[in-house]
Amino acid sequence: MRNMLMLVALVCGLLAQSDTCCAAETAAGTQSASVATAPAIQNPEMNLQFDNTLPANFRGGNPDSTEVHVLEDQPYKRQEHTLLYEESPQAMGAPAGATFEGPPTINWTTDQVGADGSVQTIANDNNNKATSESEFPEPGQYRVGNSGARQVSGGGGGASTATGSEGQVASSNTGTEGAAGTTGSGADAANGQRVTSTQTTGVICHDVTSPNVWAVFQETAGNTQSALDETALLQKLSEQLLAGKGQFDPAAPVSDALKGTSMLAISEFPVNKKPAEKTAAVAVKGPLFSEVGKDEAKVVGTVGMKVLDAETQTRLTEVGATDTLKGIFVRRNVPFIVAAMATDNGDKCATAAGASCKIETNDGTEVDKDGSSYMFRVPNYPRAEYADQPEYVFVMEGADKDGNKTVVRLPLYVVNTQMAVEGGRNE
Amino acid sequence: MPKMRPVSLILAVGFLFSIAAAAPAEEPAAGAQPPVIDTSKTPWLEGVSIPTQPPHVSPLVAADIVGEGGNSVPATISEDIPILLTANSEIFGEKPPASWNGTDLPDAEWTGRASVRWFFDDVAKNRSTLASVSDDLPANQVKVIPLDPTTAGAVTITIARPMKYRIAPDRFRTTFVNASRSLSTIVTDITPPVCGLEITADGEMGTVYPVENPAHKYPLPKLADVICRGKLFGTAGDDESVTVEGIELGAQMVVPAERAALHLAKDAVITIKTLLQDNLQVDEKTVRFGLCEGTGEKPALVGQENPGELKLAEVKLPEKPFLFIEASDLAGNRQVLYISIQIK
């Protein structure tokens, strides 16, 4: 089939050449007149390509689509080419003697396509170059457009509304395969014609950022605030999470409803680093992260996001005990509830979803709640003193729709009740 | 070259198309060779290694730009005045093209809305500005305010819309249809220059200059704040900074003496430098400055025109002395700024 198309193209080329010869013969001796009334130069096609993009079927992509797949925050080089950028305009069908009046004006435009199909131009780079490098800071659907415009003198042209067969697809008038374009015309004959060329590529930008996950612990006794139930606690946590767009500042005040609680937050920080350099900050606020019950508000460290699956390029943030975050310290005989939520950059952290959280023993057995809350009656910390008591692990996990995950596994210690109120030492 | 007879050509083409018609739509062969680029002649192509033809079907359709009421876009439009532009193209139609470059595009359908981008190009500076769209208008219309005057410019639109077409009984290929158009149009300058003076006397300095505020105000008149700074504006030799707001930008900009004045000794030797600025270009042939009497429409010059140095002891000071600067831009917009002199 391909060979036959080439043959068709060859014959079409011969036909066009034959026509050109005939036209040249009949127009002999009237060149100046024909230049003055020459038809407008057709806008040439443009080729626009990305370097090093992902396979067309990446994460279930349609291999028959011309869209390209990229990772968020990863720089990609782009290049484009069109006859409009050549040294002379004759390859576009301009008459002999026509010249470009100057360099092309080149714009690189990025549109974002919303979930509702709306299209919004979010960036334009007028770099006047046929190459560009950029990255996409948010996952989603984009369109990258390149456009060139260039003045041709002596190339004919007519009134601004003289578009010829408007509404019809123009076809090649050069006989050269692929040199087709649309009928265009200049703004005015005196200034020649301003020829344009444009191309657009659809871009699917994939999420490779682990979700932001927050947990809030609320003790339901010994608290000056009226205690919330788990549903209300989730709601208040959600409000706090969305207000900060997933970013947790331990020094910032929390809402009145969350005062007196303890919060653990894992958030992408700094945001929009390259995929291989992505990290998450681990921050705590409240008294449950200190073995002596000290009320703390600080970032205790950062964790690199690892590749979870090389083929799908998903990321995993794993948080465990460190020197600066040894675990969660709850008081014996004090009931508490815990709730967790997650936001994702996939929707610019505009919504919050539930994240799973539970307490397990070291062998993976889930600890049951005592009614609607957790309560531990026997201390297990310091471990040397309570070696016979089980070890507990607080497990929290959030995942986004693309499979990026954040997993927290922190030791949960039960300390003597008097510790927090008497302070300074364990009894 | 020997010519083929048209009849035999038609027969040959008809035969080939009769075979091709039975086959499903298929991507054309890429066929194009990598480009040979001489970056000394086309430096914007540095780093480009791809041919000019896209490797896949991507139809181009016609587009045109018209102004209000379907009229032609004027050859000149004014800065700061909104203009309604409309793009006409089949890219806004019900169906995408059914074929392109000899390839049938069966069951072609749009798969999304059009991306529409409007630009104002300053051809002389080879600079392009994406027009912001504020009003809620149909996709093919835009109400834009040209903000920067040009000596050679253009309004350009590019449009892209995604489509799909069948390539097999259960497979569709998606691609983009593109359209673009550029019309030469000049954006005329209606804003006077904003020129000022830098004055030095006895080792002390004062500067006075206007700043258009609000920017791009329309309808006329344009307004400006006049900034007066430096020790020469202080009564006791202190640094002074006065902003006189709401002065009409134009041919009679008088800073009220009670708001700001140059305080000079009667025998001061002053040097004057001009601070020239315009949103397009000051016509330097029109620049005049110096000492004058009063604040008429045309400065009544006292002494030398455009003095680099002015010795007050050597001129007969008028009853109401002022320093002035007068300048016009290339479009003929004229500005005259007066600042009062008070002898210490």
If you average pLDDT over residues A189-214, what whole number do you get? 89
Q: Which of A202, A410, A142 is nearest to B164 (CA)?
A: A202
Minimum Cα–Cα distance from A126: chain B residue:
B128
List all residues of chain A from 191 to 230 with a beta carbon under 8 Å from chain B. Answer: 191, 194-202
pTM, entire model: 0.77
Structure tokens at A66: 């011309």
Percent composition of chain A: helix, strand, coil (DSSP 3-state, to 5): 20, 35, 45
- Is B113's CB within 8 Å of A119's CB? yes
CB contact under 8 A, B179 and A171: no
Band of residue A247 on the pLDDT scale cut at 50, 70, 90: confident
Q: What residues of chain A lie within 8 A of the CB of B179, using their CB?
A: 182, 198
Interface of A with B in 138-157 (CB under 8 A): 143, 145, 147, 149, 151
* Whole-number pLDDT of residue A228: 73
Q: What is the pLDDT of residue B33?
A: 67
pLDDT at A358: 96
**Contact of A83 with A148, CB cutoff 8 Å:** no
Residue B144 contacts residue B120 (beta carbons within 8 Å): yes
pLDDT of residue B32: 57
- Answer yes or no: are the C-beta atoms of B213 and B247 closer than 8 Å: no
pLDDT class for A168, splitting at 50, 70, 90? very low
Evaluate if residue A19 carries a pLDDT over 70.
Answer: no
- The mean of the pLDDT values for chain A is 80
Which has more pLDDT, A351 or A132? A132
pLDDT of A332-351, one tens digit each?
A: 999 999 999 998 887 777 77
In the predicted model, what is the mean pLDDT of residues A261-276? 94
DSSP string for residues in B272-320: EEEE---SS-EEEEEEEEEEEES--SS-EEES-SS-SEEEGGGS---SS
Residues B279-334 pLDDT 10s: 999 999 999 999 999 998 899 999 999 998 999 999 999 999 999 999 999 999 99
Tell me which residue of A385, A46, A333, A67 sits closest to A198, measured CA to CA.
A46
Q: Quick check: A257 pLDDT over 70?
A: yes
Distance to chain B for A50, nearest Cα, Å = 11
Residues 6+ away with beta carbon under 8 Å from B78: B146, B187, B188, B190
Q: Which two tokens stand for residue B131?
A: 């027009």
For residues A17 and A203, which has the higher predicted lDDT (pLDDT)?
A203
| Separation CA A93–CA B276 (nearest Å) | 46
| B83-89: strand order across its sheet | B63-66, B83-89, B141-144
Mean pLDDT across the stretch B262-277?
95
B18 or B258: which leads in pLDDT: B258
Task: Please give the share of chain B, as a percent, with pLDDT higher than 90.
Answer: 78
pLDDT tens sequence across B69-125: 899 999 999 999 999 999 999 999 999 999 999 999 999 999 999 999 999 999 989
A186 versus B189: the higher-pLDDT residue is: B189
> According to the model, what pLDDT value does residue B23 have?
37
Q: Which of B62, B127, B156 faces A163 most closely, judged by CB atoms?
A: B62
Is B173 in contact with A66 (Cβ distance < 8 A)? yes
Is the pLDDT at B222 greater than 90? The verdict is yes
- Pick the residue with more confidence: A219 or A209? A209
Judged by a CB distance cut-off of 8 A, whether residue A62 touches chain B is yes
Rg of chain B, C-alpha, whole Å: 32
Residues of B in contact with A120 (CB under 8 A): none
Nearest to B112 by CA among B189, B200, B45, B176: B176
Residue pair B84/B141 in contact by the 8 Å Cβ criterion: yes
> Parallel, antiparallel, or unpaired: how do β-strands A314-319 and A405-415 relate?
parallel
At residue A181, does pLDDT exceed 50?
no
Residue bearing tokens 């626009």: A48
Q: Percentage of chain A surpassing pLDDT 90?
A: 61
Cβ-nearest to A81 among B16, B51, B129: B51
Amino acid found at A290: S
- Contact residues on chain B for A93, CB-CB shorter than 8 A: none
Helix-then-strand count for chain B, H and E: 1, 24
CA atoms in the 13 A half-sphere facing the CB of B337: 31
What is the pLDDT averaged over residues A9-18?
35
Given a cut of 50, is residue A422 above it in pLDDT? no
Choose between B12 and A175: higher pLDDT.
Answer: B12
- pLDDT for residue A176: 27
Contact A12, A178 (CB under 8 A): no
Averaged over A115-138, what is the pLDDT? 93
